[in-house]
Amino acid sequence: MEWLKMPSSIGQNITQNGRWNQTSKSSCILCKLSGGFDVLLSSNLKGMKSTRSVLMCLSVLLSFNPCSQAENYPYKSDYLWVAVPDHDNWVYAVGEKAVVEIMFFKYGIPQEATVEYEIADEACQADVRGILELKKGRAVLDAGTVSMPRFRDIRLALRLDGVTYRHHVKIGFSPEKIQPYTQEPDDFRAWWDSLLTDNKRYPLRSSRELYTPYCTDKVDCYLVRLEVNRSRQAFYGFLFYPKNATKGGHPVVLTPPGAGIKANRVADSKNYYPENGCIRFVIEIHGMNPTHSEAVFEDVRRAFDGRVKGYLYQGLNHLDHYYMKHVYLGLVKCIDYLTSLPEWDGINVAVQGGSQGGGLALVAAGLDARVTQCIVNHPALSDMARAATGGVSGYPHFSGKDGFLTPAHLKTMAYYDVVNFARYVQAKTFMTWGFNDDTCPPTTSYAVWNTLKGNKESLITPINEHWTSESTNRLQLDWLLQNRIINK
């Protein structure tokens, strides 16, 4: 990955490898240039008092573009919102007033317009509403403060030429003090240890075949079917090997999936793992061969009431019947499988995933002390019962409105909540999340992060919604290789 450096007074890094890199130490504006270049503009309010300064920076940045035409951000859009909190990291202390600069451009031209705004706790009804008048495309919003650690969501709407444009930005107040609502049951560890002991009695049963569509001159790929319990429930997965893998020479990486019942048609998108010496197992959790047609997956989704997350509601009324029970235990069976491979180096076992996959990575690391590295993006399944406080809950967003906050449901959630597994993670952990994420809200990511007690590193990218850039994804591999334990 190559970086083009710019004067710090104008901007930060430009990259061709993803939407943007990690947030810099100054507040930032994300813009997109044609030719695949993305730009993070430094926009500290002290150094950028006027709209003219922003436009000047845009003009200078365009001169770095290898193509003659520029594209607005979002992609092929006429308009651009810019919302810049006056604290560099978008974080304030409880009781400290937050100020946000708001800007709006159409065709790159600052607009005179009226902005309707509302401010709310995450996923809640607004408790503050008002109007701002943009002058030369710019206005300053006093976002107030709060008395307890939390995130505030600033929601903006502007109507221009018959079209309503919307935007939002979240700011944190003492998020390092956010604690999970979910409490650990007294028998949590004993219950899971009993299940693991019983499941360990079931021997490894697997099959694999070469999957040539994903094989390259550097990587071999196998389609694996692995039975995960005595009921013969199974996971399928693509097992990626470095070409000419050597006995005892390679770390293993388990990658659980994001939410949904769907085929992973891009399982080979992170081939830089095997290309750099890792054996990577990219799994599904529903016992469905990923080579099935999309029609087959659609039929199964319909069987789970048609929702992407329908299976996450199945059996929630009793902890022994919950759908995810066999999934959590199956993660350990996957580690059994990976550590049985003769090419495993005998020590390094990594788990890596995002959203549901990030939550499952933490579950695996909490259940199995063999895990040595844990890499997580915005974990789902975290503080799932938090809505009982009237606040935001982790994905899949169980709520009283849906009838899923009964005592029985809440009891089950506690045994399956990622925050309770995070208490037992011994592996080195690298975790990244954004503030603008509504799917896996930053409140619940902080609930996990503040619970982790071991060796941990974070990459906080405030502007991110429910995504990570390709450069961040590649950074995770670099972190893994740097933290690989050398078997002497």
Whether residue 12 is predicted with pLDDT greater than 80 in this model: the reply is no
Compare 129 and 20 and report the one with higher pLDDT. 129
Q: Please pick, among 167, 397, 409, 466, the residue that the annotation labels catalytic.
A: 466
Whether residue 294 is predicted with pLDDT greater than 80 in this model: the reply is yes
In Å, how far from its chain's centre is CA 373? 17
pLDDT at 6: 30
Element at 298 (helix H, strand E): helix 294-303
Compare 75 and 145 and report the one with higher pLDDT. 145
Residue 93: both structure tokens together: 């202390």
Instruction: Dump pLDDT digits (tens) for 71-114.
Output: 445 678 899 999 999 999 999 999 999 999 999 999 999 999 99
Taking residues 149-168, report their average pLDDT.
97
Angle at 207 between CA 201 and CA 212, to 5 degrees: 150
pLDDT at 52: 38
Rg (CA), the chain: 24
Instruction: Dump pLDDT digits (tens) for 228-283.
Output: 999 999 999 999 999 999 999 999 999 999 999 988 888 889 999 999 999 999 99
Report the predicted TM-score, pTM, of the whole model to 2 decimal places. 0.86
Burial label, 186 (beta-carbon count in 10 A; 0-12, 13-18, 19+): exposed
pLDDT at 44: 39
Which amino acid is present at 277?
G
Dihedral pair phi/psi, residue 197, rounded to 5°: -60, -45
d(CA 153, CA 445): 16
Dihedral pair phi/psi, residue 281, rounded to 5°: -115, 110
Average pLDDT, the chain: 87
Is 466 part of the annotated catalytic residue set? yes
DSSP 81-145: EEEEESSTTSEE-TTPPEEEEEEEEETTEE--EEEEEEEEETTS--SEEEEEEEBTTEEEEEEE-
Is the Cβ–Cβ distance between 322 and 314 less than 8 Å?
yes
155 in helix, strand or coil? Answer: strand
Instruction: Dump pLDDT digits (tens) for 295-340.
Output: 999 999 888 877 778 999 999 999 999 999 999 999 999 999 999 9
pLDDT at 400: 83
What percent of the chain is modeled with pLDDT above 70? 84
Is the Cβ–Cβ distance between 370 and 335 less than 8 Å?
yes
DSSP 383-452: STTGGGGTS---TT---TTTT--SHHHHHHHHHH-HHHHHTT--SEEEEEE-SS-SSS-HHHHHHHHTT-
Q: Please pick, among 27, 42, 355, 469, the residue that the annotation labels catalytic.
A: 355
Distance linking the first and last C-alpha atoms of the chain:
31
Please, what are the domains in the chain?
Answer: 1-77 (no CATH), 79-177 (2.60.40.1930), 188-482 (3.40.50.1820)
Q: Give the Å distances, CA to CA, from 400 to 52, 148, 404, 406.
A: 49, 23, 6, 8
d(CA 55, CA 51): 6
Q: Alpha-carbon dihedral of residues 287, 430, 182, 399, nearest 10 degrees?
A: -60
Whether residue 134 is predicted with pLDDT greater than 70 in this model: the reply is yes
Angle at 20 between CA 14 and CA 22, to 5 degrees: 105
Instruction: Dump pLDDT digits (tens) for 427-485.
Output: 999 999 999 999 999 999 999 999 999 999 999 999 999 999 999 999 999 999 999 99
Phi-psi region of 286 (alpha: psi -120 to 50; beta: other; left: phi over 0): alpha
Q: Please pick, among 437, 445, 469, 471, the residue that the annotation labels catalytic.
A: 437
Is 78 part of the annotated catalytic residue set? no
Closest alpha carbon to 32 in 61, 68, 2, 3: 61
Instruction: Dump pLDDT digits (tens) for 362-420.
Output: 999 999 999 999 999 999 999 999 999 999 999 999 998 889 999 999 999 999 999 99
Instruction: Dump pLDDT digits (tens) for 20-61.
Output: 333 333 334 343 333 333 333 333 344 344 433 443 344 333
d(CA 351, CA 410): 27
d(CA 469, CA 32): 13
Is 355 part of the annotated catalytic residue set? yes
